[in-house]
């Protein structure tokens, strides 16, 4: 099962984002984006994500969940 990020809940804190730092597959990517509310966003690299779910409980904004 793969995961998704709710960008409306994500605070995109590069230095402190536990899922970004702790993902064992490095499947979460920080992208600068001038069109995003905070000037950046996180994305899931679906090719790298194995659906382990480690990122879900450590996300401080509850922004990551399993896809339906």
Angstrom distance (rounded) from CA 45 to CA 3 = 10
Residue 15 belongs to a domain: yes
Rounded to two decimals, the pTM is: 0.89
Task: With H, G, I as helix, E, B as strand and everything else as coil, classify residue 18.
Answer: helix
Is residue 31 domain-resident?
A: yes
> Beta partners for 44?
28
Alpha helices per DSSP H over the chain: 18-22, 55-58
Q: What is the CATH number of the domain that holds 57?
A: 3.30.70.20
Domain extent, residue 12, equals 3-63
2-28 burial, b at 16+ Cβ within 10 Å, e below that, comes to: ebebeeeebebeeeebebbeebeeebb
Number of domains in the chain: 1
pLDDT per residue of the chain (68 residues) written in tens, 0 to 9: 899 999 999 989 888 999 999 999 999 999 999 998 889 999 999 999 999 999 999 999 999 999 87
Asked if residue 35 is part of any domain, the answer here is yes
């Amino acid at each position: 099962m793969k995961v998704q990020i709710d960008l409306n809940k994500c605070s995109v804190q590069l230095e402190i984002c536990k899922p970004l730092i702790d993902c064992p597959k490095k499947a979460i990517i920080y992208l600068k984006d001038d069109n995003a509310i905070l000037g950046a966003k996180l994305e899931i690299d679906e090719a790298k994500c194995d659906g382990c779910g480690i990122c879900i409980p450590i996300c401080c904004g509850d922004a990551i969940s399993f896809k339906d």
